[in-house]
Structure 1
Amino acid sequence: MANKRDWQHLLAGEKHYFTGSDRRCAYEIGEALAELFLYLDPSLSRPRVIVCIGTDRSTGDCLGPLVGTQLKPLASAYYHIYGTLDDPIHATNLVERKKAIEEAHPDALVIAVDASLGRVDQVGQVTLSLGGLRPGAGVKKDLPVIGDLHVTGIVNVGGFMEFMVLQNTRLSAVVRLADQISRGILFGYYQAARRQPVTSLTYNASAPAADYLWLGPNWP
């Protein structure tokens, strides 16, 4: 298990890779996210916004909307969730949606989630890094940077015919990565909040009351 000092390279701006098939993957993502949350927002007082990028029309590129859909009913008490299978954020509406999100949540801590392509040995891994995400970079799209930190799932191999690669990515592999990321994001806030006095915690008062029944992850 990674301990606190293991995440210092993240605070220095380096990228960390998590093995998606590891049963502790979601737990470790959460531990690392908690460090970044408290680094960027020690009082946990900033609005927390998750922007899940991708489209439901491509199996490889639906990672973000899957994460948003999984988080929406569970995390809306503590996160504002944007980008789901029913209402995706993708290349054609990203600029417009990013502007609307910034206007709705000034001074928010924004976590961007997206699929990515990598080397053969990186497929199935999850990455976490401080700083903004440039969506569509792997498929040569010029889109604005978004996020104070970002999470990606490496769904397939990049470097050649990226659009075709994304279209022919196995959905089961994407779903597994989405499960790890969404559970990690849930656990990240849970871990960060445990270190704060109850009076310092903030939440979305408009969220359904049932959302507050979730007390923490039940890990296998």
Structure 2
Amino acid sequence: MNLMNRFIPKKEKLQIHYTDPLLMDKMNERIISWLPTAPKEYVVVCIGTDRSTGDALGPLTGSYLIEMKPKHFHVYGTLSDPVHAQNMETYVQHIYKQHQHPYIMAVDASLGKTTSVGTIITDTGSLNPGAALNKKLPPIGDIHMTGVVNISGFMEYATLQNTRLSLVVEMAKLIAALLNKVDQQLTYSRSIPAIPAHNMTNVKKEM
């Protein structure tokens, strides 16, 4: 274990700027420590929409992760098939119908203080998608990752619309690479193959 992390409780969240060269190792170690000891069906739900620059962090992450062809993760939420406010409840119902006792990792964009912009946060427990825009959506995730893409506090919807795409893309690439690294460390085989998000015909039929 890295000496600087020795006295940090494993349950404590991590918040690190995406340019920090130690981010991958630190967050990978923390996420691995949170995963259940017994094999589970791992589901990654990337929340957001391609219609808003700032809110595209989730779909971008899902698309990048799908391209990496994870062996153990079922990925929902891509640019072509986003999971957003209008269809999220349907996706959640489908996930629990399709996967037995899934372990869900949720990914979403967030707004925060000026000093927090560009940081990636990983923590245990569920996140509340749409909270920044006062949308009431069901909490989701056994653990979650959020990327702080812009400043909160004033006209959040417009702020997300005017977020720099370059920042969102770089953060999404990093989160996808981190999740892919976690996936590679899950050495036990899965009995059910991952379902590409772009081929989820069952979900679309339910919507």
Distance 1:204 1:171 in 2: 38
Corresponding residue of 2:37: 42
Computed over aligned residues only, the root mean square deviation of the Cα atoms, in angstroms, reads: 2.0
Q: Deviations over 1:80-134 (max 9, x none)?
A: 0000000000001011111111111121110000000000000000000100111
- Whether contact under 8 Å (1:112, 1:151) holds in the other structure is yes
Distance 2:179 2:2 in 1: 17
Distance 2:132 2:3 in 1: 32
* TM-score for the superposition, normalised by structure 1: 0.82
Aligned: 1:93 with 2:93:
no
- Which of residues 22, 25, 36 is equivalent to 2:23? 25
Larger deviation, residues 102-111 vs 160-169: 102-111
- The correspondence of residues 25-174 of structure 1 with structure 2, limited to 5 A, is 25-37=23-35, 41-43=36-38, 45-174=39-168
Aligned: 1:175 with 2:169:
yes
Distance 1:135 1:160 in 2: 18
Displacement of 1:3 in angstroms is: 5.0
Matched pairs, number:
195
- Which of residues 184, 189, 194 is equivalent to 1:202? 189
Q: Deviations over 1:140-194 (max 9, x none)?
A: 1110000100000000000110000000000000011111111111112334x3x
Displacement of 1:137 in angstroms is: 0.5
Corresponding residue of 1:216: none
Secondary structure of 1:202 counterpart? coil
Displacement of 1:10 in angstroms is: 4.1
Inter-CA distance 21–203: structure 2 relative to 1 (3 Å threshold): same
Inter-CA distance 126–97: structure 2 relative to 1 (3 Å threshold): same
Corresponding residue of 1:217: none
> What amino acid does structure 1 have at the position aligned with 2:34?
L
- Whether contact under 8 Å (1:46, 1:108) holds in the other structure is yes
Corresponding residue of 2:9: 9
Secondary structure of 2:50 counterpart? coil
- Whether contact under 8 Å (2:73, 2:183) holds in the other structure is no
For structure 1, which runs of at least 5 residues remain unmatched after alignment? 209-220
> What amino acid does structure 2 have at the position aligned with 1:105?
H
* TM-score for the superposition, normalised by structure 2: 0.87
Distance 1:18 1:120 in 2: 14
Distance 1:15 1:46 in 2: 22
> What amino acid does structure 2 have at the position aligned with 1:46?
K
- Whether contact under 8 Å (1:33, 1:185) holds in the other structure is no
Secondary structure of 1:9 counterpart? coil
Distance 1:9 1:162 in 2: 33
- Whether contact under 8 Å (1:20, 1:126) holds in the other structure is yes
For structure 2, which runs of at least 5 residues remain unmatched after alignment? 196-207
Displacement of 1:28 in angstroms is: 2.3
Larger deviation, residues 119-128 vs 98-107: 98-107
Distance 1:83 1:207 in 2: 13
Displacement of 1:18 in angstroms is: 1.3
Distance 1:75 1:133 in 2: 25
